[in-house]
Structure 1
Amino acid sequence: MSLNINSNNNSFYSLFGGSSSNSNTIFGGLEGSIGSLSQLRSGSYGKLIKSYYAKYDSDGNLKSEGSKKSKAETGNLGQIRNESAALNKATDKLLSKGKDSIWNKVETEDEDGKVTSDYDKDKIYNAVNDYIKAYNSLVDTGKKAEGTGVLTQLASMVTTSAKAVNTLGKVGISIDTANHLNIDEDYFKNKANMTYAKDLFNGTGSYAYQVATKASMANSYASNELASITGKKSYTDQGSYAISADDVIRKFNETT
């Protein structure tokens, strides 16, 4: 898919509803479609967002901590870059079209000579499973994130999955309390409607595309933060933060 997405000053609000003027928040839109909304509100990502912004004053400056980045944090940013890239690579296989697409139906002939055309469910399952493994790894690494941009995009990625939980369930994919995706292989191969699977994982605007978009943006933020730490590249206007910490805390509290 090779997404190349620039961050902007409204990126913080992607988690809360799309823009600073949108009163119909993304959390509010979830209430009618999923029963696990409280998991997002009180879960690890929600707590991380609150605890992170509590460290900063209204001007975005640390209240008491030094601004020096630790070696561990630098390593975490590098891991986020690698794992977000791995997720996008796994998504590329699902989004691929044309003669090499895993969604092309294949013909098989039984012993009576009857020819049927169907999806290669083994190939599709393997691709979806690779996506899930990469997704879960990035979720776990993201819990250690310190940067506002990275944390917000990965939290938004988790929210995107929660919005799709009902459709994911139709192909045997569930979300646990750690925000991990889990797939039931037998259900996926033998009971799931592959039309639902294709709608979820193939095409611009699909669930997988939206998640990869968030991962790509997290990758961009992580790259900017690493550049800032190492001094190889300074922040640009696209990497700046235009809203205060108090604004974000208030916005988050309004939705939780």
Structure 2
Amino acid sequence: MSTIRGYSQSNYYDSADNDYSAYNQNASSFLAGLSINSGAGNNNGIMGGINLSDYASIKNGSYGKLVKAYYAKQKADSVSSGRDSSAKLTSMGSAAGTLAKSAGALMKDSLWEKKQIKTKDEKTGEETTKEDYDWDSITKAVKSFAYNYNKTIESAGSSNTKDVLRNAAWMTKTTKSTERLLERAGISVGADNKLELDEDALKKADISTLKSVFTGYNSFASKVYDKAQSMTNAAARAGGTYTSTGNYSDVLSSILPSNIDKKE
């Protein structure tokens, strides 16, 4: 996928915070020293190599405000250029979580069991019942899966979060390697890695082929399910916070598909 790119992590934030903390500590010590030795002045308004106007700015807190504003601007620039925003992470996590739900729905045994299907003759209005697969429900589930797959690929494509990109790239690679089998199920893979569903071809597909694509361990749906969950978790981690004790506090827990069941 041409829009999926690598993500370079940086410890800039830590260094910026440490620099500012060091500034506060050094400035306090410096001011204390000036207070003790302030009697030594000269005709040029210099004390220990420091201009009196600079000393006044340090003493009244102007320097501290400027430094704090500078680092705040640097952080904002870093966020806009190198890190995903909280809103973007939420959107990506939500898309991947919905995809996991769609994949989980396809993996349910009940979807692939024959049922008593009622049909109505359009001319006579006569209703008949026959045992068959519920093709309307199957088509709806596959269509939803394809739509949510494409939305997830779109959302992850412009991400700067390394783990999201890695799982998205893995998912598209798996899809490409399964392309021939997917075609037998009425699904084609476009140049942009998105899925296109031919509903008529789906309904004509051999049921055993569809089951091999969408059900069971190591099926295509199962692999997408696992990676979609991984993408959701990656987005949550990137938008989370860590406490002083090292415990993870997730700010995106509402989008985690933790209660999704692959089967009923």
The one of 94, 102, 105 aligned to 2:111: 102
Give SS of 1:182's match: strand
Q: Does 1:222 align with 2:235?
A: yes
Per-residue deviation, 1:201 = 0.9
The corresponding residue for 2:133 is 119
User: Deviations along 1:12-48, whole A, 9 cap, x unmatched?
Assistant: xxxxxxxxxxxxxxxxxxxxxxxxxxxx5xx333xx2
Q: Deviations over 1:177-227 (max 9, x none)?
A: 1111000011111x2112111111112221011011111111111111101
* AA aligned opposite 1:224: R
Does the C-alpha gap of structure 1 residues 171 and 146 become closer, same or farther in structure 2, counting only changes over 3 Å?
A: same
Letter in 2 for 1:85: G
User: Residues 146 and 119 of structure 1: is their aligned pair in 2 closer, same or farther, counting only changes over 3 Å?
Assistant: same
- Larger Cα-atom Rg: 2
Which residue of structure 1 aligns with residue 3 of structure 2? Answer: 44
What is the aligned length?
178
Task: Give the % identical residues.
Answer: 25
CA drift of 1:151 comes to 0.6
**Cα pair 2:3 2:158 within 8 Å, conserved:** no
1:69 to 68, 76, 79: 79
How far is the alpha carbon of 1:236 from its aligned partner?
7.4
Q: Which of 189, 199, 203 matches 1:185? A: 199
* Unaligned segments of structure 1, at least 5 residues: 1-39, 238-256
Distance in structure 1 (CA, Å) of the matches to 2:244 and 2:176: 36
Contact 1:91-1:209 at 8 Å conserved across structures: yes
Is the CA contact (8 Å cut-off) linking 1:80 and 1:219 kept in structure 2? yes
Structure 2 distance, partners of 1:209, 1:219, is 15
The verdict on how the C-alpha distance between 1:123 and 1:69 changes in structure 2, with shifts beyond 3 A counting, is same
Tell me how far 1:232 sits from its aligned partner.
6.5
Q: Specify which structure has the bigger relative contact order, considering alpha-carbon pairs within 8 angstroms and separated by 6 or more residues.
A: 1
Asked if 1:93 corresponds to 2:52, the answer is: no
- One-letter code aligned to 1:182: E
TM-score, normalization by structure 2: 0.59
**Shift in CA distance, 232/127, structure 1 to aligned 2, threshold 3 Å:** farther
Higher strand share: 2
Query: What TM-score does the superposition give when structure 1 sets the normalisation length?
Result: 0.61
What CA distance in whole angstroms lies between the structure 2 residues aligned with 1:136 and 1:182? Answer: 9
Q: Which runs of 4+ in 1 moved over 4 A?
A: 108-111, 113-116, 231-237
| Whole-angstrom CA distance in 1 between matches of 2:221 and 2:114 | 20
Structure 2: 5+ residue stretches without partners: 13-73, 122-126, 249-264
Work out whether residues 117 and 134 of structure 2, in 8 Å CA contact, stay in contact via their aligned partners in 1.
no
- Distance change (3 Å), C-alpha of 1:81 and 1:108: closer
Measured in 1, the distance between the counterparts of 2:191 and 2:207 equals: 26
Q: Per the alignment, do residues 95 and 233 of structure 1 end up closer, same or farther by CA in structure 2, a change over 3 Å counting? A: farther
In the superposition, relative to structure 1, how do residues 168 and 155 fare at CA in structure 2: closer, same or farther (>3 Å)?
A: same
Specify which of 209, 221, 225 is matched with residue 208 of structure 1: 221
In 1, the alpha carbon distance for the partners of 2:216 and 2:3 equals: 30
1:227/1:233 contact within 8 Å kept: no
Alignment equivalent of 1:145, drawn from 140, 146, 159: 159
Residues 92 and 156 in structure 2, CA contact (< 8 A), matched pair in contact too: yes
SS in 1 for 2:131: strand
Cα distance 1:235–1:127, how it changes in 2: closer, same or farther (>3 A)?
A: farther
Quickly say closer, same or farther: Cα 1:233–1:224, change in 2 above 3 A.
farther
RMSD: 3.0
- Deviation at residue 69 of structure 1 after TM alignment: 2.3
Tell me the SS of whatever aligns to 1:77: helix
**Structure 1: distance between partners of 2:234 and 2:156:** 12
